Amino acid sequence: MVTITGAALTDYNRRKDGSSFRDWVHDAFQDALKMSTLDRSDIDLLVVSSESDFFTLQLNPSAVLASDLGLVGTATIRAEGGGASGQIAVHAAVNAIRAGQARHVAVVGYDPSASNLSSEKIKELYGFSFDAWTDGMTGASSTVLYALSAQQFMAEHSLTDRHLAAVTIANRKNAFANLKAHLGLLHTEQEIDASPMIANPYRRLHCSPLSDGAAALIISESSAVPSYRATAPWIKGIGGASDHVRLGARQIKGQFSAKTIAMARACSDADLTPKDIGLVELYDAYAGAHLQGLAALGLSENIAKDIAENTFGANGRIPVNLSGGLMGQGAPAGAIGVGQTAGCALFLEGRHWSTLQPQSPPPYALADTHGGLCTTAAITILARRDAP
C-alpha cells in the first residue's frame, strides 16, 4: 500500500510580499515533512510539479528545489501536464513506490500564476496549453474554448445560468471557511449576473482566479510508515487518460471523455465504483467545467436534480470542493493536483481546518484534475486507514 504521511498547503492568493515560489515550496515542504515525522535523509525521490517555466523563468526547477530543500543527492523528476501537473506528480510518486524504486517520496507543486506576469500575459500563455498552432497563436483563449464546450453540455442537460450561479455560490461559500483560500466570498445571484460577460455563458465570477501558492506531500510505502502515523490515509487507486487537444476533433464537444476513462481506470485500480466515493475535490476552472466534471466522473446522472437537492453541498450526500475548489481556494496551476490530494488526505484523517472538516469523514475521497480542456485527466482515490 501507498500512504500519505505528510500533507500541507500554503495560502493561495496573489503574493505582494516579495516572496517567490522557492519560499512557498520551502514552507509547504517543511510542514509536510514535519507531519510525516520523517527526516530529509529518508526521502528517496523528489517529484516537482509546475505548469510552465515561463511563469518563473527557472529552467530545470527540480534540481534547484532539491538544493533549496536540503535534498541534494536525492533523485529528482518533474511532472507536467497543464492543470493536471500536480496529480500526474502524485501518480509518479505512487508508481515509483509500487515499483520498489523508493520508500518515501516528496511531491511539491507550485506556480506563481498571479504575481510574476500580467493577467493578460498569463491568459495568452494558457492558450498554449491547448494546440499552440491552431488555438494559442490564433488568439483562442482558454475561456472561449471552455465556453464552447460548456454550451453544448448545458444544452444537452437542460442547464441554465442559474446552475452556473449555484456552483459559483457554493464554491466561494465553502472557501469562506477556508483560512488559506484566495476567494472566500458570499456571492448573490444578482452579483454574479452583474459581472462582465467574458465568453458566453461565462461571466467573470464563473471563472477561477489566477493564484500564487504551493502544496507538498510526503508519500510513503506503507510498511515504512512510523507506527505513530497509524491513522495516515492511503492511496487506493490512480488513473489517467487523454483526449484530442483540439475541441473540433472530438466526437462529443461537451463531454470530458478523458475524465471518464481516467475515473474508470482509477476505480478499477482501487476495486471501487463511483458510488463508493464520499468526498470530492473537483477541478473547476470554470463553473460549467464543474458540472461537466460531475457527469464525467459518474457522480451524477441528473445534474440539474442533484444541484437542486444540494447533493454536492457541504452537508450533502457527496460533498464537493469543501476547500472551495479552484474557484474559491484558488488555482496556482502546478500546485492544484498536489493540493487537492493533500486536502483529501487531511479531510480523511480529520486534520483539516475545523471550519471545513466533516464530523464523520467518509471512507473514500477523490482528487480530480485535468489539463487543457480536459485534454489530460488524472484521478486519485484515497482511503481512510480503516476503510474496507
Instruction: Map the chain to HEC letters.
Output: CEEEEEEEECCCECCCCCCCHHHHHHHHHHHHHHHHCCCHHHCCEEEEECCCHHHCCCCCHHHHHHHHCCCCCCEEEEECECECHHHHHHHHHHHHHHCCCCCEEEEEEEEECCCCCCHHHHHHHHHCCCCCCCCHHHCCCHHHHHHHHHHHHHHHCCCCHHHHHHHHHHHHHHHHCCCCCCCCCCCCHHHHHHCCEEECCEEHHHECCCCEEEEEEEEEEHHHCCHHHCCCCEEEEEEEEECCCCHHHCCCCCCCHHHHHHHHHHHHHHCCCHHHCCEEECCCCEHHHHHHHHHHCCCCCCHHHHHHCCCCCCCCCCCECCCCHHHHCCCCHHHHHHHHHHHHHHHHHCCCCCCCCCCCCCCEEEEEEEECCCCEEEEEEEECCCCC
Whether the bond between 201 and the residue before it is cis, its omega within 30 degrees of 0, is yes
Task: Answer left, alpha or beta for residue 359, where phi above 0 means left and psi between -120 and 50 means alpha.
Answer: alpha
Dihedrals phi, psi of 76, to nearest 5 degrees: -135, 145
Query: What average pLDDT does this structure show over 267-274?
Result: 98
Q: What is the pLDDT of residue 310?
A: 95
**CA 325, CA 183: separation in Å to the nearest integer?**
10
- The fold of 2-117+210-229 is Peroxisomal Thiolase; Chain A, domain 1 (3.40.47)
> What is this structure's pTM?
0.96
Distances (CA, A) of 53 to 62, 127, 276: 11, 15, 38
- Of 249, 250, 329, nearest to 292 by C-alpha is 250
What are 239's strand-pairing partners? 379
Q: Where are the domains of the chain?
A: 2-117+210-229, 125-206+233-383
pLDDT tens track for 178-202: 999 999 999 999 999 999 999 999 9
**CA 309, CA 9: separation in Å to the nearest integer?**
32
pLDDT tens track for 322-359: 999 999 999 999 999 999 999 999 999 999 988 888 98
The confidence band for 371, taking pLDDT boundaries of 50, 70 and 90, is very high
In this predicted structure, the answer to whether residue 32 has a pLDDT above a threshold of 90 is: yes
The confidence band for 26, taking pLDDT boundaries of 50, 70 and 90, is very high
Domains 2-117+210-229 and 125-206+233-383 share a fold: yes
- Of 306, 325, 334, 328, nearest to 366 by C-alpha is 325
pLDDT tens track for 306-315: 999 999 999 9
For domain 125-206+233-383, the CATH superfamily is Thiolase/Chalcone synthase (3.40.47.10)
pLDDT tens track for 277-302: 999 999 999 999 999 999 999 999 99
The confidence band for 118, taking pLDDT boundaries of 50, 70 and 90, is confident
Calculate the CA 264 to chain-centre distance.
18
